[in-house]
Amino acid sequence: MSRSAPRSVSLPLTDELAAVFARMSGLLLSEETVESGLGLLGSLAQETVPGSSGAGVSIIDERQRRSSGATDDLVLRADNLQYELGEGPCLTATAERRLIRIDDLATEQRWPRWTSAARALGLSAALSAPMVAGDIALGAIKVYADRPGVLDARSEELLGLFAAQAAILVGNVQPKDRGKRLSQDMRNAFRGRDVVNMAKGVLMGRNGVDEDAAVAMLLARSEQEGTTVAEAAEAVVASSVRRRR
């Protein structure tokens, strides 16, 4: 049985995660820094959407169809099947600019070739949210699940928040000769209050606890390791990113 999303999980996502990436939108982003940001979003999406077994972003335009920020090879394989077969939830979400949910691949009638191939990989459900910047569809962010029926309306709400942040990153990418490295800016943005709230979101999604319990977990880790709360929070966020590698 899938666990329910914590009641207050939307707070760090809407108010804190959005604020971090909003600051990035004013910068010239290189492909390298966008890849790092999308990787973080993919990891957090998997952690936060209950029941998801993998996540990532599909960047789709007239020139390319490629995956970015995938949490594991299974996500890449499922994505590549969509690109090779020319059908699937991410392609449809992008083309129609609407969220696509598959409750059970075993009964899904759309995209029969992709559905059959994805089931062979061990997938049972999927959710894709379009990334839209202005009037331009940039692709989709998705989560996959290895059990049917675990993705619901709350999952749609959460993934929609991540889609908005992914669109900010992808929509502001610049050619490498104009982009500037954002690694130090990202580290600075993630410090202090922002990284603590991001870590709370990870712990809430990972452990099925509310915000108060997540704070207690951070405090306990800080005391146990003899670090500041911000340093403990950075370790939590870093562990979330490492899980996708």
> In the numeric block, which tokens belong to residue 14?
């809407």
User: Model-level pTM greater than 0.75?
Assistant: no
Instruction: Walk me through the domains of the chain, giving residue ranges and CATH numbers.
Output: 10-242 (3.30.450.40)
For position 175, what pLDDT does the model report? 44
Q: Average pLDDT across each block of 10 residues of the chain; the chain has 245 residues. List them in order.
A: 38 50 49 72 85 94 87 96 97 96 97 97 97 87 97 90 80 49 43 67 77 77 79 79 54
For position 76, what pLDDT does the model report? 96
For position 96, what pLDDT does the model report? 95
For position 55, what pLDDT does the model report? 95
> In the numeric block, which tokens belong to residue 170?
């992808």
In 3D, which of 219, 241, 239 has the Cα closest to residue 230? 219
